């Protein structure tokens, strides 16, 4: 009789113990697969949301002067005159190698306008890009779309006691207030926001932009590479990555993955202990059987082979079933945890790793019981008869 036949016969004969061992490892593998799949799906979802939630690259006209403001505090009496960018030059962004990583391009034109004898900052924006980038803005009414429409910052609303539908004379031209921006605590509170083309006409800057904000999807490309590429196709500009935003995103995702790995390792250790205890019990139970094998000529390596082969078969089966159970649990849990926004994606690496990890843990936990069984002397084992 071949060793493989003995192993299969033993598994059939002791179905209860084999099933218990498979279930123990299966739960461990399924838990790890579920945690890692959920982490991966929710991490990708969170990364996608974060990357579309604000700009991480800013393009401004190049200036030899150093900035003289910090935290919204501007040094009095200092005026910085910078050359505007040509809006048509932004088409060059399509030529950079990492164009696929550019999610949103939001050009802006800035300038001072006069309202009731007071100077106010006007910002012209591309509505489709700007309101995609500033999803945290809370607007009473609606965003600007086209024509002479205004979205008014909170400080300006209070200064001029504005309401929805009011008409505001800006540089002698009538604009209609269509939206009131809730307080943001930033310089946006001080702005009159208008469609880009109307703001360019009002400010006397046709075809020009003052700055460009870009949301870059940088999960598979270094943001510094994109900065260099943009600098190349837009000469005469300063391109800066908002390092704080990028590093904060990466840190948050890293902590999320670290937590999942911590739980996964804990579950794997518990699974290994379960296999170890079960195999030790099995060796004690099979002392007489092992003694007979040794008495009829089986060597120590044959006994070692028998135990490890049994552990391999059970672990491999637990790995496959555990992976399938983990995927099923992920598909059930994702809609409950993320409202159906995150999606599961087939990860062949995780599938292969789950099976091999189950086999590795099973063999590792079976080594000591296997060596113990192989060291049994026939005379000692047969005394149990």
- The tokens describing 39, both together, are 């982490």
In this predicted structure, the answer to whether residue 384 has a pLDDT above a threshold of 90 is: no
CB count in 10 Å sphere of residue 112: 10
Q: What's residue 75's pLDDT?
A: 46
In degrees rounded to 5, what are phi and psi of residue 93?
-60, -30
Beta-bridge mates of residue 176: 149, 167
H or E element at residue 334: helix 300-338
In degrees rounded to 5, what are phi and psi of residue 23?
-65, -40
Mean pLDDT is lowest, of 33-42, 104-113, 375-384, for: 375-384
In this predicted structure, the answer to whether residue 283 has a pLDDT above a threshold of 90 is: no
Residue of 314 and 289 predicted with greater confidence: 314
Spatial separation of the C-alpha atoms in residues 153 and 189, rounded to whole Å = 4
In this predicted structure, the answer to whether residue 151 has a pLDDT above a threshold of 90 is: yes
Q: What's residue 84's pLDDT?
A: 83
**For the chain, percent of residues with pLDDT exceeding 90:** 13
Position 306 confidence tier, pLDDT thresholds 50, 70, 90: confident
Query: Taking phi first (over 0 means left), then psi (-120 to 50 degrees means alpha), and beta for anything else, what does residue 116 get?
Result: left
Position 123 confidence tier, pLDDT thresholds 50, 70, 90: very high
Average pLDDT of the segment spanning 269-296? 74
In this predicted structure, the answer to whether residue 77 has a pLDDT above a threshold of 50 is: no
In this predicted structure, the answer to whether residue 106 has a pLDDT above a threshold of 50 is: yes
In this predicted structure, the answer to whether residue 89 has a pLDDT above a threshold of 80 is: yes
Position 260 confidence tier, pLDDT thresholds 50, 70, 90: confident
In this predicted structure, the answer to whether residue 176 has a pLDDT above a threshold of 70 is: yes
Q: What's residue 76's pLDDT?
A: 46
In this predicted structure, the answer to whether residue 195 has a pLDDT above a threshold of 90 is: yes
**For the chain, percent of residues with pLDDT exceeding 70:** 82
Spatial separation of the C-alpha atoms in residues 153 and 139, rounded to whole Å = 10
Position 12 confidence tier, pLDDT thresholds 50, 70, 90: confident
pLDDT digits 0-9 by tens, 39-75: 777 777 766 666 555 557 888 887 655 555 544 445 4
In this predicted structure, the answer to whether residue 4 has a pLDDT above a threshold of 50 is: yes
In this predicted structure, the answer to whether residue 2 has a pLDDT above a threshold of 50 is: yes
pTM, full prediction: 0.56
Mean pLDDT score of the chain, rounded to an integer?
A: 79
Q: What's residue 78's pLDDT?
A: 45
Residue of 174 and 344 predicted with greater confidence: 174
CA dist 354 to 16, 23, 84, 316, Å?
A: 24, 15, 56, 9
Residue of 65 and 251 predicted with greater confidence: 251
Q: What's residue 340's pLDDT?
A: 62
């Amino acid at each position: 009789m071949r060793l493989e036949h003995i192993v299969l016969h033993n598994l059939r004969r002791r179905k209860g113990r084999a099933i218990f061992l498979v279930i123990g490892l299966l739960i461990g593998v399924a838990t790890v697969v579920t945690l890692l799949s959920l982490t991966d799906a929710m991490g990708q979802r969170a990364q996608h949301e974060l990357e579309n939630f604000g700009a991480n690259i800013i393009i401004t006209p190049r200036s030899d002067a150093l900035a003289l403001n910090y935290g919204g505090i501007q040094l009095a009496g200092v005026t910085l005159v910078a050359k505007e960018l040509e809006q048509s030059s932004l088409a060059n962004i399509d030529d950079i190698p990492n164009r696929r990583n550019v999610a949103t391009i939001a050009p802006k034109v800035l300038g001072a306008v006069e309202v009731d004898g007071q100077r106010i900052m006007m910002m012209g924006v591309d509505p489709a890009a700007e309101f995609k980038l500033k999803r945290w803005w809370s607007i009473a009414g609606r965003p600007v779309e086209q024509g002479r429409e205004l979205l008014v910052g909170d400080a300006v609303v209070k200064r001029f006691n504005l309401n929805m539908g009011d008409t505001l004379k800006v540089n002698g031209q009538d604009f209609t207030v269509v939206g009131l921006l809730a307080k943001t605590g930033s310089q946006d509170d001080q702005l009159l926001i208008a469609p880009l083309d109307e703001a360019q006409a009002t400010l006397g800057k046709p075809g020009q932009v003052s700055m460009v904000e870009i949301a870059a999807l940088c999960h598979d490309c270094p943001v510094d590479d994109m900065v260099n590429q943009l600098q190349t196709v837009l000469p005469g500009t300063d391109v800066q990555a908002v390092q704080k935003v990028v590093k904060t995103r990466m840190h948050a995702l890293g902590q999320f993955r670290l937590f999942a790995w911590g739980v996964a390792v804990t579950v794997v250790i518990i699974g290994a202990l379960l296999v170890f205890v079960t195999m030790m019990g099995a060796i004690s139970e099979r002392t007489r059987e092992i003694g007979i094998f040794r008495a009829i000529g089986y060597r120590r390596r044959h006994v070692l082979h028998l135990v490890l082969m049994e552990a391999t078969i059970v672990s491999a089966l637990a790995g496959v079933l555990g992976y399938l159970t983990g995927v099923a649990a992920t598909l059930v849990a994702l809609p409950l945890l993320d409202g159906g926004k995150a999606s599961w994606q087939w990860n062949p690496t995780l599938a292969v790793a789950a099976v091999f990890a189950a086999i590795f843990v099973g063999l590792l936990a079976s080594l000591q019981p296997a060596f113990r069984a192989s060291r049994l002397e026939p005379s000692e084992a047969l005394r149990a008869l």
